[in-house]
Amino acid sequence: MSLVNKKGDMTPFDMKRKPVKQNLLLAPLLWAVSYLLTRKQGLKKVERVGMDGLKPPFLVFSTHQGFSDYFIAPRALFPHRANYISDMEGFAAFGNELYRQGGCIGKRRYVPEISVMKNIEYALFTLKQPVVIFPESRHCDAGVTSTLPNDLGKLVKHFKVPVAVLSAHGSYLANTFWDEEHTRRSKMSARIELLYTSEQIAKAPAEEIQTEIEKRLQYDEYKYQLDENIVIDYPERAEGLHKPLYKCISCKAEGKMSSSGSTLKCTACGKAWEMNELGQLKDQDSGRLLHIPDWYRWERSETESEINSGSYNAVNNVKVEALPNEKGFVPLGEGKLIHNCDGYKLFINDTAQPAVKNSPDNFPIVIKSTDRESAQTEYNYRGRGKCIVLSTRSCCYYCYSDDADFLVTKQEFAQEYFYKSGRKR
């Protein structure tokens, strides 16, 4: 998909425009596609707990492992139509009006915006619709829950409507974030559970609600695969795994990992691991089995140690595209992206070009580390390669780089640590 904003229109997306009730004619098509697609991928049924008799308005918090989640949610909510909080790129990909008719409410990732809160309120109390939120904000990197916002309990207390949690398993295994171009068949399961009634919300503190929501959104897909004995015999099942597992667990070299077929390898020390059909990594020398999320968590701890030693500093040459609205992407040229304990700073080399001059934001773009709970990362967005997305209230800036040390997962770890550390001060 090209999604080119041919006129270079930099007018910001209208966040204040009120959502609409999911189109009555479009809803049956969405339900049918959702059922057929998820059934094909291995989801036999959605378990429902406490949902009988529950009528809108209510909130739904859903896990967000992969692309299939967008279709699991409508199937789980049938026969209710719903509104869905969605990132800006969906409006560009499917068209503003069609996406709105599907019930979507626009939001820029990790950017707090009062208009989004008002639109959720309008959907709940005026349209009388369920509202579905994917708190992780992105597909998971390595089969475990991504960082969750720390204000979910406060959100629930604010709206005072019943809250359900939709948890799915197998979505990630079917369509891993590091190889979204290829779909595997995997056993899938889903459960939607009423967590709190309005009366229970009135009595429960926000901290307790937060804890309960987080508990039900936790998952480990490789443990699920092993426990359920899910065999994935796709020959190229490890291709792309070097993107989240960017650091060699043997020699600690960064950016030297490669993957081919079912093999993950470090080009620095020659160490190799075979990904078996149950999702485990087998050391080709010792035969030891490694759990992929353990490797991923080790990388996070390594990044945090680097930050604590004062040596973390990421500087990369980037090509930048802007997504100000649903009309598509506007090229801004080349620049430089800097990330450290202060946050992100994005420079554009040629600030005199019309697209940059018409940008709703002034360059350089500066985002404080305490203003973003995480970094929006992409492994191969639109086939363009690795990408970091910086969003303001007016625009999303997609930053691509071919630099060998452009380690987007590492920047994600770092930003999450900066945010948490800054919030504790």
348-396 tens-digit pLDDT: 999 989 899 999 999 999 999 999 999 999 999 988 999 999 999 999 9
Residues 237 and 222 in one domain: no
Residue 58: give the domain boundaries. Answer: 26-227
**Cβ proximity of 303 and 409 under 8 Å:** no
pTM: 0.93
Q: Do residue 36 and residue 174 come from a single domain?
A: yes
Q: Per residue, what are the HEC states of the chain?
A: CCCECCCCCCCCCCCCCCCCCCCCCHHHHHHHHHHHHHHHCCEEEEEEECCCCCCCCCEEEECCCCCCHHHHHHHHHCCCCCEEEEEHHHHHHHCHHHHHHCCEEEECCCCCCHHHHHHHHHHHHCCCCCEEECCCCCCCCCCECCCCCCCHHHHHHHHCCCEEEEEEECHHHHCCHHHCCCCCCCCEEEEEEEEECHHHHHHCCHHHHHHHHHHHCCCEHHHHHHHCCCCCCCCCCCCCCCCCCCECCCCCCECCEEEECCEEEECCCCCEEEECCCCCEEECCCCCEECHHHHHHHHHHHHHHHHHCCCCCEEEEEEEEEECCCCCEEEEEEEEEEEECCEEEEEECCCCCHHHHCCCCCCCEEEEHHHCCCCEEECCHHHCCCEEEEECCCCEEEEECCCCCCCHHHHHHHHHHHHHHHHHC
Q: How many CB atoms lie within 10 A of CB 353?
A: 15
Q: Is residue 114 part of a domain?
A: yes
Q: Is the pLDDT of residue 298 over 60?
A: yes
Q: What is the pLDDT of residue 2?
A: 58
**Which residues are registered as beta bridge partners of 247?**
254
Q: Tens digits of per-residue pLDDT, 253-292?
A: 999 999 999 999 999 999 999 999 999 999 999 999 999 9
Q: Give me the amino acid identity at 361.
A: D
What are 290's two structure tokens?
């490694």
Tell me if 1 is assigned to some domain: no
Amino acid letter at 274?
A: E
Indicate if 173 and 251 belong to the same structural domain: no
Q: Domain check: are 364 and 291 in the same one?
A: no
Decide if 20 is inside a domain. no
Q: Tell whether 255 is covered by a domain.
A: yes
One domain for residues 81 and 213: yes
Q: Is the pLDDT of residue 1 over 70?
A: no
Claim to verify: residue 332 and residue 265 sit in the same structural domain: no
Looking up residue 353, the CATH number of its domain turns out to be: 2.30.29.30
Per-residue pLDDT tens over the stretch 140-178: 999 999 999 999 999 999 999 999 999 999 999 988 999
If asked whether residues 151 and 190 sit together in one domain, one would say: yes
Neighbours of 55 (CB within 10 A): 9
pLDDT at 7: 87
Number of domains the chain contains: 3
44 and 129 share a domain?
A: yes
Q: Based on the domain organization, do 193 and 326 belong to the same domain?
A: no
User: Is residue 48 within 8 Å of residue 167, measured between CB atoms?
Assistant: no
Cβ contacts of 138 within 8 Å, gap of 6 or more: 64, 109, 146, 177, 374, 376, 377
Which residue among 311, 326, 356 closes a domain? Answer: 311
Amino acid at 201: I
Together in a domain, 263 and 324: no
13 located within any domain: no
Strands 104-107 and 83-87, how do they pair? parallel
Rounded Cα distance, 301 and 281, in Å = 20
Q: What is the mean pLDDT of the chain?
A: 94
Residue 202: is it exposed, middle or buried by C-beta count within 10 angstroms (0-12/13-18/19+)?
Answer: exposed
Looking at the structure, do residues 79 and 95 belong to the same domain, yes or no? Answer: yes
Residues 321 and 205 in one domain: no
Band (423; pLDDT cuts 50, 70, 90): low
Asked if the structure places residue 399 within a domain, the reply is yes
pLDDT at position 80 over 70 = yes
d(CA 322, CA 405): 23
Residue 414, pLDDT above cutoff 80: yes
- Identify the pLDDT of residue 94: 87
Nearest in space to 42 (alpha carbons), one of 71, 14, 13:
71
- Cα 140 to the center of its chain, rounded Å: 6
User: Which pLDDT belongs to residue 286?
Assistant: 94
Q: Does the residue 16 lie in any domain?
A: no
Q: How much is the pLDDT for 425?
A: 44
In a domain, 2, yes or no: no
